[in-house]
Amino acid sequence: KAGVTQTPRYLIKTRGQQVTLSCSPISGHRSVSWYQQTPGQGLQFLFEYFSETQRNKGNFPGRFSGRQFSNSRSEMNVSTLELGDSALYLCASSTTGAVTTGELFFGEGSRLTVL
């Protein structure tokens, strides 16, 4: 069974640019969550999508946005990049999105460096 696939794995951008990251969940999983991981803050929740609907959003500025397609694949976009956006962006999929049992399956992440 294929795992969660994130692309690209590594990318370098400059301040002011925008970036789009992609996530393909495990087959049959309809929920996709996005987390930002930095050394200082750890993993922080960005947003969660289920059946193309955003159900929950974390405390990030509007520059961070996402969407989910009918095949459950998801993209997140960061516009007007800032140096502080440098991080590992992790996507996690699950069947229902309910995290009470912790059954989130994470991808290997997209490492973004902003210069």
Partner 1 sequence: QKEVEQDPGPLSVPEGAIVSLNCTYSNSAFQYFMWYRQYSRKGPELLMYTYSSGNKEDGRFTAQVDKSSKYISLFIRDSQPSDSATYLCAMSVSSYKLIFGSGTRLLVRP
Residues that bind partner 1 (CB under 8 A): 4, 31, 33, 35, 39-45, 48, 50, 55-56, 58, 90, 92, 97-109
Nearest of 69, 68, 61, 60 to residue 33 by alpha carbon: 68
In the complex, minimum distance from the CB of residue 84 to partner 1, in angstroms, rounded to a whole number: 16
| Whole-angstrom distance, CA of residue 28 vs CA of residue 72 | 9
In the complex, minimum distance from the CB of residue 16 to partner 1, in angstroms, rounded to a whole number: 28
CA distances, 30 to each of 72, 108, 111 (Å):
6, 19, 24
Q: Which is nearer to partner 1, 15 or 55 (CB)?
A: 55
Q: Which is nearer to partner 1, 70 or 101 (CB)?
A: 101
CA of residue 81 relative to chain centroid, distance: 16
In the complex, minimum distance from the CB of residue 30 to partner 1, in angstroms, rounded to a whole number: 12
